[in-house]
Amino acid sequence: MIGIDIASIDRIKNMYEKFGIKAYERFLDEEEIALIKRVETAAGFWAAKEAASKAIGTGIGKECSFHDLKIKKKKNGAPKLKYSKALQKKYKIKKTYLSITHDQGVAIAVVHNIKK
Ligand SMILES: CC(C)(COP(=O)(O)OP(=O)(O)OC[C@H]1O[C@@H](n2cnc3c(N)ncnc32)[C@H](O)[C@@H]1OP(=O)(O)O)[C@@H](O)C(=O)NCCC(=O)NCCS
């Protein structure tokens, strides 16, 4: 189970300039927002959640919302992602790997799930 997504950094920047913190709250919780020091990171988180929704085959929507996905960072700066308990159970997810990059105006994320 693998998913990939690309997000325009400018699109996230414009959303933030237009709607302020509410733009981030649409796809991130308070702890995730606290990790964002620059818009590239927010774009990476957007791509990561879209990629995670693809890795289970649903896309972002009713079954898997942005808020069913939680991103944290390890001490070394590496991101990690967890599905909600319900999604972990439904899709038999044992472990999730996430990698993010950003350059040239875009952020890209890949998510790989190991099944139980
Ligand atoms: C981590 C590293 C691979 C990032 O590569 P980069 O080309 O600078 O940046 P990219 O756009 O490809 O990736 C950035 C993303 O990588 C992820 N990342 C950061 N640290 C990471 C790590 N240790 N492991 C895996 N992923 C990491 C983050 O998601 C980061 O996005 P964020 O800054 O928005 O949180 C690179 O900085 C590196 O090799 N660092 C270790 C060595 C180092 O920091 N040396 C300098 C100080 S001694």
Cα torsion angle, 51, 43, 69, 113, sign = positive
Where do the domains of the chain lie?
A: 2-115
Q: What is the mean pLDDT of residues 94-99?
A: 98
Does ligand 1 come within 6 angstroms of the Cβ of 61? no
- 2-115: what CATH class? alpha beta
Q: Could you read off the pLDDT of 13-59 as tens digits, one per residue?
A: 999 999 999 999 999 999 999 999 999 999 999 999 999 999 999 99
Q: Is the CB of 104 under 6 A from ligand 1?
A: no
Token digits of residue 62: 């009713």
Considering 62, 85, 102, 116, which one is annotated as catalytic? 102
